[in-house]
Amino acid sequence: MRNIVAVSSLVLLFLLCTSGKLEYRKAYKVRTVVIDAGHGGKDVGCNGKVSHEADIALQLALQVGNLIEKNLPDVKVVYTRKTDHFVELIDRAGIANKNNADLFISIHLNSGPAAAYGTETYTMGLQKSEGNLLVAKRENSVILQEDNYKENYNGFDPNSPQSHILFALHQSAYIDNSLRFAGKVEREFKQKVGRNSRGVKQAPFLVLWKSFMPSVLIECGFLTNPNEEKFLNDKSGQSYMASGIYRAFREYKDELEAMN
Ligand SMILES: [Zn+2]
């Protein structure tokens, strides 16, 4: 009798472990993605000769989301904005956290000297590069247009390098998968879309700071470069870019889920 009890307990324990394991495996699906169109409303972002960053970012974000919704119906797509309106940086990460997103993708356009061109995908982090810091400072400076930025960002000063360094220490738990996805985005841009990839970079972006999931910020090209501005305003140019981001997402999802 004692043996039967012992064996039954072992069998029960085995079943509990196995079912627990199965549930654990299920948790590794990429279920929800948040697509964040940078800027909007009173914040137009950077400017080209004929276009604003906020408008092109929205077009690209809607197209990426649409491709995911159409082709990967098991993924829930959440947008931080679907129209031209202002969303505070902290609320963008908040939307991602509230939806338990598995990935946060923030879409932007770059600004620089007329000769600068190409794509860059950023993860949160520290890299000793003045250029990266300049991009982060420009993207972060939008908080000056927000009402309570001093309270919301714990005294963050977009003009202070020290502030940027402090904030770069967050997001470190998600850095591996952020880099994994960022690498795929830049590879797609370079190999499939034929763009000049300026690579995967790291810098302290406020919009990525408080999200609790792998997060990237994509600079899809320079509006200050006439050729790129033309390409990024072109319907087919936009669809090439959106398809590149979509394929990177699909590959990222397949890769993570294959590790189960
Ligand atoms: Zn931007």
User: Distance from the CA of 217 to the center of ligand 1, in angstroms?
Assistant: 9
CB 225 within 8 A of CB 114: yes
Query: pTM value?
Result: 0.86
What is the CA(219)–ligand 1 centre distance, in A?
8
Q: How would you label 161-186 residue by residue, b for 16+ Cβ within 10 Å and e otherwise?
A: eebbeebbebbeebbebbbbbbbbbb
- For residue 138, report the distance from its CA to the centre of ligand 1, in Å: 8
Q: How far is the CA of 37 from the centre of ligand 1 (A)?
A: 9
What spacing in Å lies between the alpha carbon of 108 and ligand 1's midpoint? 4
Neighbours of 37 (CB within 10 A): 30
The residue type at 22:
L
Q: Across the strands, what pairs with 201?
A: 122
Q: What's residue 7's pLDDT?
A: 54
Q: What does the pLDDT look like over 166-185, one tens digit per residue?
A: 666 667 779 999 999 999 99
| CATH code reported for the domain at 29-258 | 3.40.630.40
Q: How far does the centroid of ligand 1 lie from the alpha carbon of residue 46, in Å?
A: 7
- Helix (H) or strand (E) run with residue 107 in it: strand 103-110
Check residue 169 and report its DSSP letter: T
pLDDT of residue 205: 87
pLDDT, tens only, 92-136: 999 999 999 999 999 999 999 999 999 999 998 876 677 888 888
Residue spans per domain, the chain? 29-258
The stretches in the chain having pLDDT less than 50 are 17, 20-25
Instruction: Read off φ and ψ for residue 202, nearest 5 degrees.
Output: -125, 140
22 CA to middle of ligand 1, Å? 41
Q: Which of 26, 54, 52 minimizes the C-alpha distance to 40?
A: 54
